[in-house]
Amino acid sequence: MAFLETMAKLIERYNSFFTEGIVNTLIIAAFSVLFGAILGTLMASLRMCRIPPLRWIAVAYIEFVRGTPLMVQLMFIFYGLPMIGITIPNIPWIPNFSRFAAGIVAMSMNSCAYVAEIIRSGIQAVDGGQMEAYRRNPEAVHDFYNNLKTDLQKAEPNPAHLAITRLQNEYKNGTVSVVTQNVDLLHEKAGNRNVYHIHGQIDQAVCMNCGRVITTWGEVTTETVCPGCGVPAMMKPNIVFFGENLLRMNEVDALLDKCRLLIAVGTSGAVYPANTFARIAKYHGADTVELNLHTTVNNYDFDRHIVGRAGETLLVFVDELLAEN
């Protein structure tokens, strides 16, 4: 009780000081957060800048501020700067303005360094294959896909691709369609028909301005002009990046609704929404078969599992289907 009585007397006696301290703290905090966020955003931009001198300046500032105590920074700004002739002028109608300003400057500069690192780390944490990475460095992404185009033009279909062509040509109990996550166009090279590329095609580019899709095995660069809207530097490889919607899904959904036999070949079964195709087809009454090197995480969606290399197991399975034709 004695302690509480003593505290009550202190609060009553110094009430005006406590009130003034709370108000001053809130004012300094508000301005520091505001200026720290603005300056931190600019500093993060410099930290990621491609111009080395600007990047070095940002790195030096951030490391120095984060490596020294806030109290030292406050002492330097309030006492150190006047010693070298830099003073914060007083404003007559704002009591203790120089002290306020010193506190706001020090807190803002300190906050700036931490905010800059938060923003930088958040941006650079984005995987290099994602859409944000393309916007950040489109030249590198175009180089990668242009080189991939060159390599894929030399690639040849494997026996599994050819087995699908045979199935499409000889199967008489329905239409055989192919839904693929591959972008390499080896299905078409093998003669497959009714191919639905849900992850896009290596030979296409799409305009991010108007949505026009062009087909070309030539190089696409940041200087390529869209033939639809005439805007340059907006042509992106028509490949689904992480976070983008899959392509032709309305058509795929329609196929699954009327599917009678679904064969999943060589897929991990771990990536949504492709890992739900077997479940949807099974719900609509289809038989489901999995051909893979091992059973997958969604193996319960399949009525039958065939383990082995697709180039071998699919040939045998196609023979089996055609024998029942």
Check 199, 284, 294, 305 and give the catalytic one. Answer: 199
Residue 291 phi/psi, 5-degree rounding, is -115, 115
What are the phi and psi torsion angles at 214 (to 5°)?
Answer: -115, 150
Q: How far apart are CA 195 and CA 286, in angstroms?
A: 20
Residue 304 phi/psi, 5-degree rounding, is -145, 140
CA nearest to 65, candidates 107, 99, 95, 34: 107
C-alpha pair distances (Å), 230 with each of 31, 206, 215, 224, 225? 46, 13, 16, 10, 6
Q: Name the amino acid, one letter, at 232.
A: P
Q: Are 178 and 157 in contact (CB under 8 A)?
A: no
Instruction: Measure the CA–CA gap between 240 and 138, rounded to whole angstroms.
Output: 15
CB 198 within 8 A of CB 248: yes
> In this structure, is the dihedral angle defined by the CA atoms of residues 75, 76, 81 and 84, taken in order, positive or negative?
positive
Tokens 């679904």 locate to: 262
Query: Are the C-beta atoms of residues 43 and 112 closer than 8 Å to each other?
Result: yes
Distance (Å, whole) CA 218 – CA 204: 10
Residue 305: active-site member: no
**Residue 257: CB atoms within 10 Å:** 13
In single-letter form, the type of residue at position 317 comes to F
What secondary structure letter does DSSP report for 232? B
* Residue positions annotated with a catalytic role: 199
